[in-house]
Amino acid sequence: MERVALITGASRGLGAELAGFLAKQGYHLVITARGAEALEKAAQSLRKFGSQVIATPGDVSEPEHRADLAEAAKSLGRLDLLINNASNLGLSPLPPLADYPTDSIEQVMKVNLLAPLGLVQSTLPLLKSSGGMVINISSDAAVGGYPGWGAYGASKAALELVSLTLANELREDGVAVVSVDPGDMRTLMHQDAFPGEDISDRALPKATLPFWAWLLGQPRMVVTGQRYQAQSDRWEVAA
């Protein structure tokens, strides 16, 4: 059976790693990121695995772009997996929340919270038809209350509540929703959070692949509503 995944923020980092992993599993892909050149380069690499790949550059915070992504998935006939990976770190260096410009916080919320919810809304008919799964990428900042991470952490905390609420609301429709904290990784966004610092001790995104293989091997309605840590020593299904 052919399967289709839509991945945001797919030109680099975790998104690119997940796109490659799924292409190797036979998924056809809709991928997006803001940089058109980097996205097309990623698409060309993914097509080597024999997958159909639709690369649609744009900003997920824009409703028109989300509509385009939903149409791209529709053109492939179904949607089994929506991975909301694109994220906005916010200002760098990370300022204290008490000094954070509210217009910058608003933009973080648009990308990290409203865009994932908007994509679920745009693609829900396809997800219902395929009995699909939504994976919202979160962070330990959602629960840590770390100094400087207030805007980003608040957006991810809200995303986790949205994920759980959607899981409860969509269970009867056969659509699963989970949130995943991938852990600290050696990515450009993580480097932006620590400008000038050495982050070579962080794991590369490929270190999370055992988790993704495990998660996608579970019955979807058994894991729905759960929050997972991809770099944990073990993962469990719901009791």
The predicted-structure confidence for 168-218, as pLDDT tens digits, reads as follows 999 999 999 999 999 876 666 666 566 666 667 767 889 999 999 999 999
Name the more confident of 189 and 69.
Answer: 69
Span 96-101, mean pLDDT? 96
Torsion of the alpha carbons at 235, 81, 157 and 57, rounded to the nearest 10: 130
pLDDT at residue 184 in the model: 79
Architecture, CATH, for domain 3-229: 3-Layer(aba) Sandwich (3.40)
What percent of the chain shows pLDDT beyond 90? 86
pLDDT confidence tier of residue 239, bands split at 50, 70 and 90: low
Among 39-53, 84-98, 117-131, 185-199, the minimum mean pLDDT is found in: 185-199
pLDDT at residue 150 in the model: 96
pTM for this model (two decimals): 0.94
Mean pLDDT of the chain: 93
pLDDT at residue 198 in the model: 67
C-alpha gyration radius of the chain: 17
Domain ranges of the chain: 3-229
Contact 13, 189 (CB under 8 A): yes
Name the more confident of 132 and 149.
Answer: 132
pLDDT confidence tier of residue 235, bands split at 50, 70 and 90: very high
Contact 65, 58 (CB under 8 A): yes
Span 111-137, mean pLDDT? 98
The predicted-structure confidence for 135-171, as pLDDT tens digits, reads as follows 999 999 999 999 999 999 999 999 999 999 999 999 9
Nearest to 214 by CA among 196, 230, 226: 230
What percent of the chain shows pLDDT beyond 70? 92
The predicted-structure confidence for 39-50, as pLDDT tens digits, reads as follows 999 999 999 999
Name the more confident of 205 and 26.
Answer: 26
183 alpha carbon, distance to own chain's centre: 13
Strands (E), 58-195: 81-84, 133-137, 176-181
Give me the active site residues, please.
Answer: 152
- 189 CB-side CA count, 13 A: 19
Tell whether the model's pLDDT for residue 132 goes beyond 80. yes
Contact 176, 223 (CB under 8 A): yes
